Structure formats: C-alpha cells, structure tokens
Structure 1
C-alpha cells in the first residue's frame, strides 16, 4: 500500500466515500466492506467502503488512512481517534 486513503468518521463508523479508493483499499487487503454489498464477488465495486473502527485505527497507524471528522471536517490524529474509538 503506497497511497493514502481518505475516510470520514461518522459517529461510530468510518466511510471511504470515493469508490475508487475504497475498491483499491479493499483489493489490497480486504479491509472494510462495500456499503450495500454483502459479499463482493470482485475486488472492484462502485460503492463507498465502510471500515470498522479497528481497521481504521490500524490503517492510520500504518500511515495509510487520513481520517476527517464528519461534523467538523477537521483531520483527526491517530491518538485523538484512538481515544474516541476506545469509548465506543
């Protein structure tokens, strides 16, 4: 994984809205699940990708995910998101 992906934190979940980025991320390690698709038959799909909080933390720790708070549109640091996620 060389590219940085952009996700949005929505209260209790993280969504990668860009379907191309979501497909790439899914194909690289089967992270997340496409919204509205129970089990994708192919690694490429035209839907946003939902990540678990744990997956988002892992990808942030590896420097592969930039996470933005949906309400404030502010970028969250790994430590900040870790603190928030631990309370959910």
Structure 2
C-alpha cells in the first residue's frame, strides 16, 4: 500500500487582531483569526540580524471555536496544530487564485 502523505502544521505565534466568531445555519461556531510567526537569522555578508514575519489565516470549528472566541484577543500567543488547506477560486479575469 502506498503512503498517502502527511498534512500536519504546527504554528506558534501571536494574533494580529481579535478573532471573528460566526455561526453556521446549524448553529456550529466558526472562529477565524490570523497569527504572525517570525524567524530571525544573521546576514552572511553584513553580519546584521534579519527578521521575516509570515501571516497565517486560521479557521477553527465547534466547541474549540467558541472557547477561542471567548478567550483569545489581539496579541495573544497561541500554539496551533492542524492541517494546511489551500483554497482555489477564479477571479473576474478568469485567473486562478489561491
């Protein structure tokens, strides 16, 4: 049997804004927010420290979404484990976007 692969992501970062909580028609909570992760390194040529920050959009569901909406605020540090899901859509110029 061939391995199907692994899709697991671990992030440790801080919220860029307060989470947004909404509810599905069935009453399930859906909470979304973005977190910033940063990494630093020393430039080989100049010796100066460099830093890059990446932003990650997070969506969580059900009871965990309710708890996150209640306790998380802008600046909160969070540890996130989940899977990466890229969404594709077609823009008004018929170009694929991700």
- With normalisation by structure 2, the TM-score equals 0.27
Larger radius of gyration: 2
- With normalisation by structure 1, the TM-score equals 0.28
The structure whose residues are more often strand, as a share, is 2
The structure whose residues are more often helix, as a share, is 1
